Amino acid sequence: MKRIYMDNAATTSVAPEVLEQMIPYFTQVGGNPSSIHSNGREAKRALENARRQVAEILGALPQEIYFTSGGSESDNWAIKGAAFQMKEKGKTHIITSAIEHHAVLHTCEWLEKQGFTVTYVPVDELGVIDLKALEEAINENTGLITVMAANNEIGTIQPVKEISRIAKEHQVLFHTDAVQAVGAMPINVNDWQVDMLSLSAHKFRGPKGVGVLYVRKGVRLNYLVHGGAQERGKRAGTENLPGIVGLAAALKRAYDHLDEVVAREIALRDKLINGILESIPYTRLNGHRENRLPNNVNVSVQYIEGEALLLRLDLAGIAASSGSACTSGSLDPSHVLLAIGLPHEIAHGSLRLTLSDETTEEEVDEVLRVLPNIVNTLRNMSPLYEMILKEAK
């Protein structure tokens, strides 16, 4: 059975040409970038070349790019690092949204236990943050706003420029978790005017375990790891050079062909959305219809359990998810779906299908062929659905 992978929001496979660029840094260029001998200097050149490449694509300066182990670490460093710096100035209030990734939400919850206060701004039924509520939440103690660029579950893109404008007018730092957005849409840190931005390589065909935190020049953060002088002394530890080279290569690959890939993914995404809504009754699209990530499809299917749907799809050779991979072990409904106003019973039946540049139209057609039959089978096992059909008659 040829498997169909539609869980690219969770992670992507490493592109062959990216792996090809990484291999020499596993097997040939083995020096430590901190060493002064020729092997170390060769490794250092590769490290700084990657830093410059990432900076150029994001519109940043090389010294504003810090390499990390991924999106969760970057989010933690940005929020905690800024929080403890601003606390020294008497500012202990943070603003975020109700639909952030748990790397942000759990960090904010931890900071609340350390004496900070956090405002969780609501979103509308499409998942767009309430800008009026955001601005009204700012007070004299506010030091940081952290709002994601695009939601990892429902794909809604946030008004980052407007949030940045509000933050600047009130002299508040602004961090955005752009883990899902980078590689899927144009991003320029100067155009967006963000102070900090997080990204992770494995979301755009790069390797796992490596990411970036962009920190605008002049923004002060507490050090993340003490020890050596790596990452300008702020994050000690020998750099993951193969991973960093792979991150830079994958980022360049994504943005060299962005327009072409985005147009193709949108066409497949919309075919998938329309096909599901037209062929399966009692379904609804979650998130914004147009202002969403090009590869994201998130639907709620009533009168079934999402877990049962995922298992049946897996048996049919289709990999999908119900939301964030970081909470896949939880039986609770998605906090994102609850935040956009869905009742528990509908939120439990969510399905997320996320595409990549490798997804084919034939794979979309196969999903549209298989999915209605699976939903039918599961609903026929549901006494509630039987009652709904009787009432409809």
Say which residues have a Cβ less than 8 Å from residue 13's Cβ, sequence separation at least 6. 5, 205, 356, 358
For residue range 105-162, what is the model confidence (pLDDT) as tens digits?
999 999 999 999 999 999 999 999 999 999 999 999 999 999 999 999 999 999 999 9
Confidence grade of residue 385 (pLDDT, cut at 50, 70, 90): confident
Residues of the chain above pLDDT 70, percent: 97
Residues catalogued as catalytic? 326
Going by C-alpha positions, the residue among 170, 161, 225, 219 that lies closest to residue 195 is 219
Contact 115, 80 (CB under 8 A): no
> DSSP of 304-336, one letter per residue?
S-HHHHHHHHHHTTEE-BSS-GGGTT--SPPHH
> What span, in angstroms and rounded, lies between the C-alpha atoms of 95 and 166?
12
Model pLDDT, residue 219: 97
Does residue 326 register a pLDDT over 70?
Answer: no
> Which is higher by pLDDT, 315 or 389?
315
307: left (phi over 0), alpha (psi -120 to 50) or beta: alpha
Q: What does the block give as tokens for 373?
A: 């039959």
- pTM for the whole structure: 0.95
> What span, in angstroms and rounded, lies between the C-alpha atoms of 123 and 99?
8
Paired with 176 in beta bridges are 197
Mean pLDDT of 231-250: 96
Does residue 331 register a pLDDT over 70?
Answer: no
Contact 178, 150 (CB under 8 A): yes
Strands (E), the chain: 4-5, 65-68, 93-97, 117-121, 142-146, 173-177, 196-200, 211-215, 283-285, 296-301, 318-319, 350-354
Question: What mean pLDDT value characterizes the chain?
Answer: 95
For residue range 172-213, what is the model confidence (pLDDT) as tens digits?
999 999 999 999 999 999 999 999 999 999 999 999 999 999
Phi, psi of 79 (to 5 degrees): -75, -50
- E strand or H helix at 160: helix 160-169
Confidence grade of residue 330 (pLDDT, cut at 50, 70, 90): low
With the CA atoms of 64, 70, 72 and 78 taken in that order, what torsion angle do they form, in degrees rounded to the nearest 10?
-10
For residue range 275-306, what is the model confidence (pLDDT) as tens digits?
999 999 999 999 999 999 999 999 999 999 89
Model pLDDT, residue 345: 86
Rg (C-alpha) for the chain, rounded Å, is 22
Q: What does the block give as tokens for 49?
A: 């070349």
Confidence grade of residue 327 (pLDDT, cut at 50, 70, 90): very low
For residue range 23-34, what is the model confidence (pLDDT) as tens digits?
999 999 989 999
Model pLDDT, residue 161: 98
